[in-house]
Amino acid sequence: PEEIVIAEQTACVLKTDGSIQSFGNTSSYDTAQPTDSNYIKIVSSPDSTGNFAGLKHDGSISGWGATHYNGTDNFDLYKPTGTEFKDIVATNYKLAALHSSGTISSWGSGGNGTTTNYPPPTSGGWKEIIRGSGGIYVALNVDTSIAV
Protein backbone atom coordinates (compact mmCIF):
# COMPACT_ATOMS: atom_id res chain seq x y z
CA PRO A 1 0.00 0.00 0.00
CA GLU A 2 0.97 3.59 -0.61
CA GLU A 3 -0.71 4.97 2.52
CA ILE A 4 -2.90 3.74 5.42
CA VAL A 5 -5.24 6.07 7.32
CA ILE A 6 -7.16 5.03 10.42
CA ALA A 7 -10.26 6.66 11.91
CA GLU A 8 -11.44 4.91 15.06
CA GLN A 9 -13.27 1.78 13.77
CA THR A 10 -12.36 2.13 10.09
CA ALA A 11 -9.20 2.09 8.03
CA CYS A 12 -8.63 3.15 4.42
CA VAL A 13 -5.74 2.07 2.27
CA LEU A 14 -4.46 4.05 -0.70
CA LYS A 15 -3.11 1.43 -3.06
CA THR A 16 -0.16 1.95 -5.38
CA ASP A 17 -2.56 2.06 -8.37
CA GLY A 18 -4.36 5.07 -6.83
CA SER A 19 -7.47 3.16 -5.75
CA ILE A 20 -8.88 3.08 -2.23
CA GLN A 21 -10.00 0.16 -0.07
CA SER A 22 -11.80 0.48 3.27
CA PHE A 23 -11.75 -1.99 6.17
CA GLY A 24 -13.66 -2.16 9.42
CA ASN A 25 -16.97 -0.53 10.31
CA THR A 26 -18.08 0.80 6.92
CA SER A 27 -21.77 0.04 7.61
CA SER A 28 -22.19 3.53 9.13
CA TYR A 29 -21.00 5.31 5.97
CA ASP A 30 -23.39 8.01 4.75
CA THR A 31 -21.24 8.49 1.63
CA ALA A 32 -19.66 5.41 0.04
CA GLN A 33 -15.93 5.22 -0.58
CA PRO A 34 -14.89 6.18 -4.11
CA THR A 35 -14.64 3.38 -6.65
CA ASP A 36 -12.45 5.32 -9.08
CA SER A 37 -8.67 5.64 -8.85
CA ASN A 38 -5.91 8.20 -9.44
CA TYR A 39 -5.78 9.26 -5.76
CA ILE A 40 -2.45 10.59 -4.51
CA LYS A 41 -3.31 11.24 -0.85
CA ILE A 42 -5.97 10.25 1.69
CA VAL A 43 -6.64 11.87 5.07
CA SER A 44 -8.97 11.45 8.02
CA SER A 45 -9.82 13.56 11.00
CA PRO A 46 -8.10 12.04 14.05
CA ASP A 47 -11.30 12.45 16.08
CA SER A 48 -13.55 11.15 13.31
CA THR A 49 -15.40 7.87 13.56
CA GLY A 50 -14.89 7.15 9.90
CA ASN A 51 -14.72 10.33 7.82
CA PHE A 52 -12.16 10.41 4.99
CA ALA A 53 -11.13 12.60 2.07
CA GLY A 54 -8.85 12.03 -0.88
CA LEU A 55 -6.88 14.20 -3.27
CA LYS A 56 -6.67 13.05 -6.89
CA HIS A 57 -3.98 13.58 -9.53
CA ASP A 58 -6.11 16.24 -11.25
CA GLY A 59 -6.37 18.19 -7.98
CA SER A 60 -10.01 17.34 -7.27
CA ILE A 61 -11.20 16.18 -3.85
CA SER A 62 -13.57 13.39 -2.79
CA GLY A 63 -14.99 12.70 0.65
CA TRP A 64 -16.63 9.62 2.14
CA GLY A 65 -17.58 7.99 5.40
CA ALA A 66 -19.83 8.63 8.37
CA THR A 67 -21.09 12.04 9.47
CA HIS A 68 -22.00 13.59 12.81
CA TYR A 69 -23.23 16.98 14.03
CA ASN A 70 -26.25 16.95 11.70
CA GLY A 71 -23.96 16.30 8.74
CA THR A 72 -21.87 19.48 9.00
CA ASP A 73 -18.73 17.36 9.12
CA ASN A 74 -19.67 15.59 5.88
CA PHE A 75 -16.32 15.63 4.08
CA ASP A 76 -17.99 15.17 0.68
CA LEU A 77 -20.98 17.52 0.93
CA TYR A 78 -19.00 20.63 1.88
CA LYS A 79 -15.78 19.96 -0.06
CA PRO A 80 -14.47 22.64 -2.39
CA THR A 81 -15.25 22.06 -6.04
CA GLY A 82 -12.89 22.24 -8.97
CA THR A 83 -9.42 20.95 -9.56
CA GLU A 84 -5.83 22.09 -9.10
CA PHE A 85 -5.68 21.55 -5.33
CA LYS A 86 -2.10 20.76 -4.29
CA ASP A 87 -2.50 19.41 -0.78
CA ILE A 88 -5.09 18.43 1.80
CA VAL A 89 -4.86 18.07 5.60
CA ALA A 90 -7.33 16.89 8.25
CA THR A 91 -7.74 17.94 11.85
CA ASN A 92 -10.57 17.31 14.36
CA TYR A 93 -13.60 16.95 12.05
CA LYS A 94 -12.25 19.57 9.64
CA LEU A 95 -10.22 19.66 6.44
CA ALA A 96 -8.15 22.27 4.67
CA ALA A 97 -7.04 22.22 1.05
CA LEU A 98 -4.34 24.30 -0.62
CA HIS A 99 -5.17 25.39 -4.18
CA SER A 100 -2.47 25.93 -6.82
CA SER A 101 -3.51 29.62 -6.85
CA GLY A 102 -2.22 29.96 -3.27
CA THR A 103 -5.66 30.14 -1.62
CA ILE A 104 -6.93 27.84 1.12
CA SER A 105 -10.37 26.26 1.51
CA SER A 106 -11.57 24.66 4.73
CA TRP A 107 -14.70 22.72 5.57
CA GLY A 108 -16.10 20.34 8.17
CA SER A 109 -17.42 20.79 11.67
CA GLY A 110 -16.05 22.76 14.56
CA GLY A 111 -17.33 19.99 16.80
CA ASN A 112 -20.53 21.86 17.56
CA GLY A 113 -22.42 21.51 14.29
CA THR A 114 -20.95 24.55 12.56
CA THR A 115 -18.69 24.88 9.56
CA THR A 116 -17.38 28.31 10.53
CA ASN A 117 -14.86 27.54 13.29
CA TYR A 118 -11.32 28.44 12.26
CA PRO A 119 -12.07 29.89 8.81
CA PRO A 120 -9.23 29.92 6.28
CA PRO A 121 -7.17 33.04 5.67
CA THR A 122 -8.78 35.33 3.10
CA SER A 123 -5.49 36.34 1.50
CA GLY A 124 -3.54 34.37 -1.10
CA GLY A 125 0.11 33.47 -1.50
CA TRP A 126 -0.02 30.35 0.68
CA LYS A 127 2.53 27.68 -0.23
CA GLU A 128 2.08 24.98 2.41
CA ILE A 129 -0.46 23.71 4.92
CA ILE A 130 0.46 21.56 7.91
CA ARG A 131 -1.92 19.46 9.97
CA GLY A 132 -2.35 20.67 13.52
CA SER A 133 -4.42 19.38 16.40
CA GLY A 134 -7.43 20.65 18.28
CA GLY A 135 -9.12 21.80 15.09
CA ILE A 136 -6.36 23.97 13.66
CA TYR A 137 -3.86 23.81 10.82
CA VAL A 138 -0.89 26.03 10.06
CA ALA A 139 -0.40 27.75 6.71
CA LEU A 140 2.92 29.13 5.47
CA ASN A 141 2.91 32.05 3.03
CA VAL A 142 5.46 32.91 0.35
CA ASP A 143 6.10 36.20 2.18
CA THR A 144 7.13 34.07 5.25
CA SER A 145 3.98 34.92 7.24
CA ILE A 146 2.11 32.20 9.10
CA ALA A 147 -1.61 31.71 9.70
CA VAL A 148 -3.23 29.38 12.22
Cβ atoms of residues 13 and 1 within 8 Å: yes
Instruction: Indicate the residue type of 55.
Output: L
Global confidence as pTM: 0.82
Residue 112 is predicted with a pLDDT of 46
Reported as a single tens digit per residue, the pLDDT across 96-133 is 899 999 998 887 765 544 455 567 777 889 999 988 77
Q: In 3D, which of 127, 122, 70, 120 has the Cα closest to residue 94?
A: 120
Q: Sheet harboring 3-7: ordered strands across?
A: 3-7, 10-14, 20-24
Q: What is the mean pLDDT of the chain?
A: 80
